[in-house]
Amino acid sequence: MNTEAHSSHDEHEDHGPAKGIKRWLFSTNHKDIGTMYLVLSLVMFFVGGAMAMIIRSELAIPGLQFVHPEFFNQMTTMHALIMVFGAVMPAFVGLANWMIPLMIGAPDMALPRMNNWSFWILPIAFGMLVSTLFMPGGAPAGGWTMYPPLVLQTGDAFPFLIFSVHLLGVSSIMGAINIIVTVINLRAPDMSLLKMPMFVWTWLITAYLLIAVMPVFAGAVTMLLTDQFFGTSFFLAAGGGDPVMFQHIFWFFGHPEVYIMILPAFGVVSEIIPTFARKKLFGHDSMVYAASCIAFLSFIVWAHHMFTVGMPLTGQLFFMFATMLIAIPTGVKIFNWVATMWRGAMTFETPMLFSLAFVFLFTIGGFSGLMLAVAPADVQYHDTYFVVAHFHYTLVPGSVFAIMAGAYYWLPKWTGHMYNEALGKVHFWASAIFVNLTFFPMHFLGLAGMPRRIPDYSTQFADFNTIASIGAFGFGLSQLLFVWVILTAKKGEKATDRVWEGSHGLEWTVPSPAPYHTFDTPPQARIANEAFE
């Protein structure tokens, strides 16, 4: 068996990637597919970002200057859908594709053809979604949460919205299955589950979350579809249905989805901080348990998004207490990162800077999350800019900074060259300053009473909105630097295999750039790790 596998792999080494477009269309190589995911994610980041710029332009000063309210609502809806499903999620799947096989010593993902499919469904799904902008009635404008009955007022875009969500779900589920099978079956023989790197662990947990909730989401939007076209009344009061039921189902998906977007970020940061602190991750096992706790709790807190829908008191109390509990494992993670830094020997390369900003700013997002958990106060915060500030703190300096940290961290392994460190640092400082300038004033706006998703506002909200808009343009422009650093990465000096002085783990044992095929024979993880100590 072993020798057979060996000889077939030797044949593979003779032919590298296919030529031209076929390499990408038919690729079953985890590195190529990872690259495609990451490129798609970057493109979508700019598409969604452009929509954010339209939103912030309109909101820069009071009065309606540029767009009509209908179009404004299309922008907020599409910005959210594209950033969540197009930018953040594919970026993490891309990192998983590239890095998980390298980190566990696997030759590729376990199901390479499904891997190809799960990527190529995405451009189709986003093609459908973006095309709705040009349809009669415009793009979906009922918010990414798609609450009925409002979402049923969508024009011709409606079925395209539903089917693109279906496709995104199919892609996510296939990606998740692939990751679970790869992690469970293809680890280096001496890598037990608790010896796995944190990034692999958090992704394993995330993959289970995806499999659990994506079908629920697909079911919810299918019920919207039949309500619209086939005369059912799942969510229509006039036919005996219940509009609030949709919100329960949606958030049963939606809250785990929040952790789907942050757990892999925890993983990335847990790889990077030990590298640049030159010290082992503090409390590896408790990090695993904390991530598992967060994943479990994510299933029983969904209705904290619905404290204003009129739930019974006992329901509100349950969801409030359960939500507060999440602070405990999240706190453990943050304390462990701080303990990892403590008495380390830190240096501050770009990946570390982004990771440190992640810890600082995600903690601020966590604090506002704790405030939101307090149900009576949530009545005041709910659907205001306070919430917008909260989730942008967790998603932008949270997930997005972690993705950027990961990109800078592994870029030398991908390209074989060191990127321009000075420009990377400029990119970091610009992003870190502008992200706060954009989102911090939104806390004040929300507390003062500005609801979210409005195209125009009373003059008392003007000053902070102007500041937020300036910050947003600055943040948007700073991201062009990121693209420049990536495009010029190949011009840098040659990277060593280990790349960073404090690197640890199997991915640093392969050459830089990583060859098209790696780990044709399973490595000894323990020996590889000892070599770094």
52 is a contact residue toward another protein (CB under 8 A):
no
Q: Is 20 left (phi over 0), alpha (psi -120 to 50) or beta?
A: left
Tell me the C-alpha distance between 431 and 408, whole Å.
14
Q: Does 458 bind another protein (CB under 8 A)?
A: yes
Least distance from another protein to the Cβ atom of residue 4, Å: 41
Of residues 81 through 120, those in contact with another protein by CB under 8 A are none
Looking at the DSSP assignment, which residues form a beta bridge with residue 384? 451
Beta pairing partners, 451: 384
Both tokens of 269, joined, read: 């940061």
CA–CA distance, 228 with 156 (Å, rounded to integer): 12
Please identify, using beta-carbon distances, which residue of 49 and 243 lies nearer to another protein.
Answer: 243
Catalytic residue list contains 508? no
Residue of 56, 166, 284, 304 marked catalytic: 304
Helix (H, G, I), strand (E, B) or coil at 171: helix
Q: Are 1 and 7 in contact (CB under 8 A)?
A: no
Residue 52 in tokens: 């954010």
User: Among 6, 10, 22, 63, which residue sits at the site for another protein (rule: CB under 8 A)?
Assistant: 63
What are 112's two structure tokens? Answer: 């390479």
Q: Does the footprint of another protein cover residue 429 (CB under 8 A)?
A: no
Judged by CB under 8 A, does residue 156 bind another protein? no
Q: Is 132 in the site for another protein (CB under 8 A)?
A: no
Say how many residues make up the chain. 533
Whether the CB-CB separation of 122 and 175 falls below 8 Å is answered with: no
72/253 with CB nearer another protein: 72
Q: Active site residue: 30, 31, 56, 79, which one?
A: 79
Is the CA virtual torsion 256, 258, 264, 269 positive or negative? negative
C-alpha closest to that of 174 among 228, 125, 217, 113: 113
CB atoms within 10 A of CB 492: 17
Judged by CB under 8 A, the stretch of 88-96, 343-351, 404-412, 413-421 that binds another protein is 343-351
State which of residues 10, 70, 156, 421 lies at the interface with another protein (CB under 8 A): 70
Binders of another protein among residues 308 to 327 (CB under 8 A) are 308-310, 313, 316-317, 320-321, 324-325, 327
Q: Which of 108, 227, 349, 378 is catalytic?
A: 108
Closest separation in Å from C-beta 454 to another protein = 3
The residue among 121 and 322 lying less far from another protein, judged by its C-beta, is: 322
**343 in active site:** no
Token pair in block for residue 107? 């030759």
CA distances from 160 to 14, 218, 241 (A): 44, 14, 24
**Window 361-380: residues binding another protein (CB under 8 A):** 363-364, 367, 370-371, 374-377, 379-380
Beta carbon of residue 18, minimum distance to another protein (angstroms, whole number): 44
Q: Which of 16, 69, 511, 515 is in the footprint of another protein by CB under 8 A?
A: 69
What does the DSSP 8-state code read for residue 400?
I
Using CB under 8 A as the binding rule, the residues of this chain from 213 to 242 that contact another protein are: 237-238, 241-242
Q: With CB under 8 A as the contact rule, which of the stretches 14-22, 91-99, 345-353, 416-424 interacts with another protein? A: 345-353
Please report, in angstroms and rounded to a whole number, the separation of the first and last CA atoms in the chain.
34
CA within 13 Å, CB half, 400: 28
Place of tokens 């790889």: 271
Q: Is 527 in the site for another protein (CB under 8 A)?
A: no
Assess whether 171 carries a catalytic annotation.
Answer: yes
295 CB burial (10 A radius; 0-12, 13-18, 19+): buried
Between 153 and 488, whose beta carbon lies closer to another protein? 153
Q: Does 278 bind another protein (CB under 8 A)?
A: yes
Which CB sits closer to another protein, 101 or 241?
A: 241
Binding of residue 13 to another protein (CB under 8 A): no
Q: Closest separation between CB of residue 233 and another protein, Å? A: 10
Q: Which residues are catalytic?
A: 79, 108, 144, 171-172, 255, 257, 259, 270, 304-305, 330, 333, 452
